[in-house]
Structure 1
Amino acid sequence: MQVKTVKSVKAEQLLDEYKVGSSFFFASPSRTLSAEGIFATIERDGVHGEKTELIRRVKAALKQASQAGAAGNPLVVGAMPFDIQDSIHLFVPETVHWAGPLPFEQLQRERERSCLGEYEIAPVPAPKAYEYAVEQGLKEIASGSLEKIVLSRSLHLSTGGAIDVPRILRNLAGNNEKGYTFAVDVRHHRQDSQKTLLGASPELLVSRDGQQVTANPLAGSVPRSKDPEEDGRRAAALLASEKDRHEHAVVVEAVAQSLRPFCRTLTIPDEPSLVQTETMWHLSTVLNGELADPSVDSLTLALALHPTPAVCGTPTALAKKTIQELEPFHRGFFTGMVGWSDSQGNGEWIVTIRCAEAEARLIKLFAGAGIVAGSAPEKELAETSAKFRTMLQAMGLNDE
């Protein structure tokens, strides 16, 4: 087998040629990546969640690709779960295509409204049960054992026909100019039925470009309004909210603490800023650093950060344990990370949110909310409902 890189293609062509089960697709605001075939798989057996062993195996696979005559710069691509003890999906593809950014305005105009026929929808857990879980989380916070916990819920949509993943992916891309659109096959074995993780994440976990490191944690959110004046009021209130600024500060400090050992310099803005998606306002902070050791690669940085308090909580170990007790489903790749890292150590890894898993006639949507002192269960429920809209609208559905 030979690994090759192709750059002379258009971004829209990569989106058009996406194939469920055989393509890895990843689009950022500045470039588009599509990968096909499998040269080497990063096996899970024997890793047992040990990050250093996982990184060693990735580097060995990239070296093997280079020795096999890879043209250009071989990559590892794929998805990591919320709990790295779970199954991972990382591989070195045979063919890599790079292009510039997607034509977002064109994709917006061409957006197709209906991607589902008849369907049934089931919330997991039910809304009242989710509010009860938030109440339990607040009790842990009041006791002093937790400072923050992120609790999530899921929507299961079953349909009469197969899920049209390429069309949903195209719709997601058309509404995500400032974020990251992705699709990756996450089935455990090639003989299993196809299972696709896809979404439109607004959150960069970390990127490395030469010596430069960037992280962009988001925490503190409020749903958008279709009324411009109300939308502006909500944005201003979020920026001024003591509760949301505290939630955001917890995440930023955790990210900074994880990056400092790797960086010669690290710049952190004094104040958060606002970023918007089609459905949400978020508090955002962009951290920029310069690596102290040029041998540190993007996957090493991503694993050092993951999971941040933006998707888990703090302290991390207790928050994760409480999540597993309170959430009635297994997160899997939701709140994990998706991205790529090359043989030179450069790469991008994003937080796997605003996402779904599609398998045959079932698609599972996921959304979570950060719980801190002052959180209200009904408002956290409303926040998750708003976050579901990213995927629901991509399927031509406007409401739960």
Structure 2
Amino acid sequence: MVITKDAYCLDGLRFAIKKAKDQQTTVLFSYVQKIDNHDPIAFYHAGRENYKGQCFFWQDPKKEIILAGTGQVTPLSSTGSYDRYIHVEKNWDKLLRQAVSSGESGVIGTGPLLFGGFSFDPEEEKKTLWNDFEDETFAIPCYMLSLIEGQSYLTINRICSPDDNEWHLYKQVENEVEELTDQRKFSVSPSINPLIKQEEIHADAWKTTVASAITNMKHSSLDKVVLARELRLTFENDISPENVLLQLMKEQPDSYIFSLESGDSVFIGATPEKLIKKRKEQVFSDCLAGSIGRGEEEEDRRLGEELLQDRKNLLEHQYVVSMIKDAFDSLCSSVKIPDDGPVLMKNRHIQHLYTPISGVCEEETPVLEFVRRLHPTPAMGGMPKDMAVTKIREWETLERGMYAGPLGWMDAYGNSEFAVGIRSALLKGREASLFAGGGVLEDSTPEKEYKETAIKFNPMLSALGGTMNE
């Protein structure tokens, strides 16, 4: 048991209920307690027993912040035609203004925290693949385990109403926390789940679309468009998100590892790409565009040198650097970019051209204002931005949904981090839809882009595992 008649928790609940009565409204209550080290995957697994479809997981590349959340005290979902970034920001601010917090205070990634993501394109034609997700899918978890630089914290969030009873709420919380933190009951170990079917969705049609896009570029002002495709896997048994996360943590340790559930679907992946990281007034982003495969030592070195000198990939990379710099210039008082050009970022299956960008902004600048200006970068959409997104909407048969959209978290202390939802898959029962995109320029070839997307499927293919039945 983690909490036992904790005075701070009980007094905080009492104060939150009194505030709700006085103002005749609902009030967010948040309590944070430092606890003994706890396995975040076991916590995530335990949460799925009672809150399936309402859980999330996050691990940054340096493992400084690991989050496992379960349950939803209040979801922030679509309400119609509006600016979705403003909608999330306003609702988040409203909740924080009414919030009552107790326990440990000011620790990054603890307390009131909003986790979720945005779809790639809110104007995309909605089909059925992503019907469990809204154009923005965000929520505050009921319970969250945070590992912050190796120290574990438990956050308890509740919406308190005027008629609530603090003892009733406290006992409910105490019982649920005991269940969630019983690591003996919820151990997770890898298991084999045979793959029985693997299907490339409309692969030939995708190549034809790439060829048409190349022709279009020769006669228009479109400089680049990113075209994505789908690989669908069917397994013998339902796919375990916990096992996929374990494999991703093992195989892609230098990436953001994430999982976001909604309904019967799980959006999961290991993305190398930071969109925006904000620590009060300090902001950081990654320019990641241009990629090639990996090889044995000598071949790997040769491939890396080839990437660093490839005109097409360098041009793709420069598009991203220029766009992110412009966004930072519009919101920051100072911006820093290395003078010596891109370097290589090497992941297990892929190596990328990489340039970091940092800046200083007003501490009050909303992180979602950065997200609005950065999404989609030319690495996800193309150039010019609006024209490329329109062409994607027109040409792609794939329903992107959350794929390549911004995904991440915001706490109440001015800290936040969003990554780009690539190297990812949508899990539904026994099926997994994997997504990969290629940047198409005027001098691209359909076959080369096809091979590039095949390489980008590898991280999720490997993590899902299984062996094809004879």
* 2:56 equivalent in structure 1: 24
For 1:352-391, what aligned pairs fall within 5 Å after superposition? 352-391=421-460
Gaps of 5+ in 1: 103-110, 188-193
What amino acid maps onto 1:5 in structure 2?
V
Cα deviation for residue 343 of structure 1 reads 1.7
Q: CA contact under 8 A between 1:79 and 1:89: conserved in structure 2?
A: yes
Q: Please, which of 227, 244, 266 is the counterpart of residue 313 of structure 2?
A: 244
Q: CA contact under 8 A between 1:123 and 1:154: conserved in structure 2?
A: yes
What amino acid maps onto 1:155 in structure 2?
L
* TM-score for the superposition, normalised by structure 1: 0.89
Seq. identity, %:
29
| Comparing 128-137 and 200-209, the one that deviates more | 128-137
Cα deviation for residue 37 of structure 1 reads 2.0
Q: CA contact under 8 A between 1:79 and 1:186: conserved in structure 2?
A: no
Q: CA contact under 8 A between 1:366 and 1:388: conserved in structure 2?
A: yes
Q: CA contact under 8 A between 1:195 and 1:359: conserved in structure 2?
A: yes
Cα deviation for residue 112 of structure 1 reads 8.0
Q: CA contact under 8 A between 2:195 and 2:233: conserved in structure 1?
A: no
Cα deviation for residue 101 of structure 1 reads 6.2
What amino acid maps onto 2:343 in structure 1?
S
* 2:18 equivalent in structure 1: none
What amino acid maps onto 2:290 in structure 1?
G
CA distance in 1, matches of 2:92, 2:202: 37
Quick one: structure 1 residues 394 and 112, their matched pair in 2 at CA, closer, same or farther if it must change by over 3 Å? Answer: farther
Q: Computing the radius of gyration over CA atoms, which structure comes out larger, 1 or 2?
A: 2
Q: Please, which of 27, 31, 37 is the counterpart of residue 4 of structure 1?
A: 31
* 1:83 equivalent in structure 2: 121
Cα deviation for residue 46 of structure 1 reads 3.6
* 1:146 equivalent in structure 2: 222
- What do residues 59-101 of structure 1 show as CA deviations (whole Å, max 9, x unaligned)? 223334x247686441110121101456211111222321146
* 1:332 equivalent in structure 2: 401
- What do residues 161-204 of structure 1 show as CA deviations (whole Å, max 9, x unaligned)? 211221011100112222100011033xxxxxx21000000000
* 1:124 equivalent in structure 2: 201
CA distance in 1, matches of 2:230, 2:409: 27
Quick one: structure 1 residues 39 and 272, their matched pair in 2 at CA, closer, same or farther if it must change by over 3 Å? Answer: same
* 2:240 equivalent in structure 1: 164
What amino acid maps onto 1:17 in structure 2?
F
What amino acid maps onto 1:76 in structure 2?
L
Quick one: structure 1 residues 51 and 100, their matched pair in 2 at CA, closer, same or farther if it must change by over 3 Å? Answer: closer
Q: CA contact under 8 A between 1:150 and 1:311: conserved in structure 2?
A: yes
CA distance in 1, matches of 2:314, 2:57: 34
Q: CA contact under 8 A between 1:272 and 1:283: conserved in structure 2?
A: yes
Q: Please, which of 88, 93, 97 is the counterpart of residue 59 of structure 1?
A: 93
Q: Please, which of 322, 326, 339 is the counterpart of residue 257 of structure 1?
A: 326
CA distance in 2, matches of 1:40, 1:78: 12
| Comparing 239-248 and 369-378, the one that deviates more | 369-378
1:44 aligns with 2:44: no
Q: Please, which of 124, 142, 155 is the counterpart of residue 231 of structure 2?
A: 155
Q: CA contact under 8 A between 2:194 and 2:466: conserved in structure 1?
A: no
Cα deviation for residue 369 of structure 1 reads 1.1
What amino acid maps onto 1:306 in structure 2?
H
- What do residues 22-63 of structure 1 show as CA deviations (whole Å, max 9, x unaligned)? 421100122211122212211310453443233212222333
CA distance in 2, matches of 1:331, 1:31: 28
Cα deviation for residue 297 of structure 1 reads 2.7
Counterpart of 1:17 in 2: which secondary structure?
Answer: helix
CA distance in 2, matches of 1:353, 1:9: 33
CA distance in 2, matches of 1:133, 1:112: 42
Q: CA contact under 8 A between 2:44 and 2:69: conserved in structure 1?
A: no
When the two chains are superposed, the root-mean-square deviation of aligned CA atoms in Å is 2.2
Quick one: structure 1 residues 7 and 207, their matched pair in 2 at CA, closer, same or farther if it must change by over 3 Å? Answer: farther
Q: CA contact under 8 A between 1:115 and 1:168: conserved in structure 2?
A: no
* 1:351 equivalent in structure 2: 420
Quick one: structure 1 residues 363 and 129, their matched pair in 2 at CA, closer, same or farther if it must change by over 3 Å? Answer: same
Q: CA contact under 8 A between 2:252 and 2:459: conserved in structure 1?
A: no
What amino acid maps onto 2:32 in structure 1?
T
For 1:253-292, what aligned pairs fall within 5 Å after superposition? 253-270=322-339, 271-291=341-361
* TM-score for the superposition, normalised by structure 2: 0.76
* 1:191 equivalent in structure 2: none
Cα deviation for residue 230 of structure 1 reads 1.0
Residues paired across the two proteins, number: 380
Quick one: structure 1 residues 234 and 200, their matched pair in 2 at CA, closer, same or farther if it must change by over 3 Å? Answer: same
- What do residues 108-153 of structure 1 show as CA deviations (whole Å, max 9, x unaligned)? xxx9886422421221222x22221111121222223211110111
